[in-house]
Amino acid sequence: MFRIYRETLSRFSCAASTGLIVALAKEKREREREKKKRKREREREKERERKKGNLALVRNGILLVEFADLMVSQGMEVREAVIEAGRTRMTPVLLTATATMLGLIPLAVGLNLDFVTLFTEFNPHLYFWR
């Protein structure tokens, strides 16, 4: 009787441990899938962030082409439409570039203003970096 009990227990134990091993392997595969999924999502997010930097140029190019297409559809010749679209769309681009360059001049020459004394004593205390 003890022998039958021991064999039954042995079979049950073997089946239980096999089930446990299968469950653990399944859980491990699921964790690895989740890890890969998170990695892919991080890579997609990095790609989106990288593409955001080029977004202004893409938008301006799209606006330029769409504006030229609109003029062509209204009956203007292609060459004249492209010249007019470039003339119209280049104004905001040049204004933005000019404002950026003018805003960076103090940084380029090392100019430092003390804004606290500028507004309290009306004396900006100009300093140049060395």
Say yes or no to pLDDT of 51 above 90.
no
Is the pLDDT higher at 25 or at 53?
25
Q: What is the pLDDT of residue 72?
A: 92
Contact of 110 with 129, CB cutoff 8 Å: yes
Categorize the per-residue pLDDT at 79 as very low, low, confident or very high, splitting at 50, 70 and 90.
very high
Q: What is the pLDDT of residue 73?
A: 92
pLDDT, one tens digit per residue, over 104-115 is 888 888 888 788
Q: What is the pLDDT of residue 64?
A: 83
Residue 53 DSSP class: T
Q: What is the pLDDT of residue 23?
A: 78
Per-residue pLDDT averaged across 82-87, rounded? 89
Q: What is the pLDDT of residue 32?
A: 92
DSSP β-bridge partners for residue 128: 111
What torsion, rounded to 10 degrees, do the Cα atoms 55, 57, 60, 63 define? -60
Exposure pattern of 99-129 as b/e (b: 16+ CB <10 Å)? Answer: eeeeeeeeeeeeeeeeeeeeeeeeeeeeeee
Contact of 68 with 82, CB cutoff 8 Å: yes
Q: Write out the two tokens for 56.
A: 């202004």
Q: What is the pLDDT of residue 63?
A: 80
